[in-house]
Amino acid sequence: MASNAAIKRLTREYAAIQQNPPEYIVAHPSESNILEWHYILTGPPNTPYEGGQYWGTLTFPPDYPFNPPAIRMLTASGRFQSNTRLCLSISDFHPKSFNPAWSVSTILIGLMSFMTGEEMTTGSIRASEMERRITAAKTRWFNSTGNGSSLRKIPGVSGTQGPSSTSLRTGDGGARFRAEWPEIDAENWKWMEERRVDPATGNVVKPSSTQTCAPGARALPILNSTPGAVVEGAQVARNAGQGFIRRNIGLVIFFGFMVYAVASRLLSEGRSMHQEL
């Protein structure tokens, strides 16, 4: 149970962080427990975490600020193990190095600074810059689906890449994130829908291309099941694929003959007139 000093201090710090939030950081205490805070770090520009949404917790001791909080990052980041206590000078691993003058903002700014560096400690992991960028692109999906364990579907997207892998994943379906960050969770789902992100896999699903028919096939009418209708439909299809000359070969021959006859007659009359002269 939190001491009166801890309650007063954390209440004051919540008001301060609302009025003057640090850049790329939001945080609030849980409604049911003022000693449990939830934060989101937005990956800063020009880092492998750019645009990522990193959710985690600060668990304060009852005698805060005389002892530091336990720090965890719940979102997969490529920098820290998920849901693991982090060994930092501002965390409960080093109570003697903690300064009671440090605030929640100070702790989270320190966490951001450590995250964007390369120093290793308990709870941190190694990954390439590319791996961290790929992980950053999936953080919204990770948070709101509980790493793909959500049963929620997106029409036209869910299930288009084969059997769902949801049953193979463990997680709460994003329930805890949704309880702490309902507005951000709604934005995440809208973001996934607009980008056609499959909730089960986190992969972008491309729209299926509509195959176009050949001109003859497009000319096919809706056919009955009678043989005559099938023959008629096939004839229409053939005609649609033929040129004007092939479809009107009889007329072409007729007019060609007439032109030949007229030309021959005019030529014959011209010769007769020339002989008379």
Maximum Cα interatomic distance, the chain, rounded to a whole number of Å: 136
* Residues whose CB is less than 8 angstroms from the CB of residue 249 and which lie 6 or more positions away in sequence, other chains included: none
| Over residues 81-106, mean pLDDT | 96
Give the Cβ contact number of residue 258 at 10 Å: 10
pLDDT digits (tens, 9 = 90+) for 258-271: 666 655 665 665 55
CA–CA separation, 171 and 39 (whole Å):
19
**Rounded Cα distance, 172 and 29, in Å:** 21
**Is 87 an active-site residue?**
yes
Cut 0.85: pTM above it:
no
Task: Name which CATH class applies to 4-194.
Answer: alpha beta
Q: Is the pLDDT of residue 215 over 50?
A: no
* pLDDT mean over 80-96: 96
Asked if the model's pLDDT at residue 210 lies above 90, the reply is no
Q: Angle at Cα 144 formed by Cα 202 and Cα 93, nearest 5°?
A: 105
Q: How many CB atoms lie within 10 A of CB 91?
A: 26
Catalytic-role residue among 87, 127, 236, 240: 87
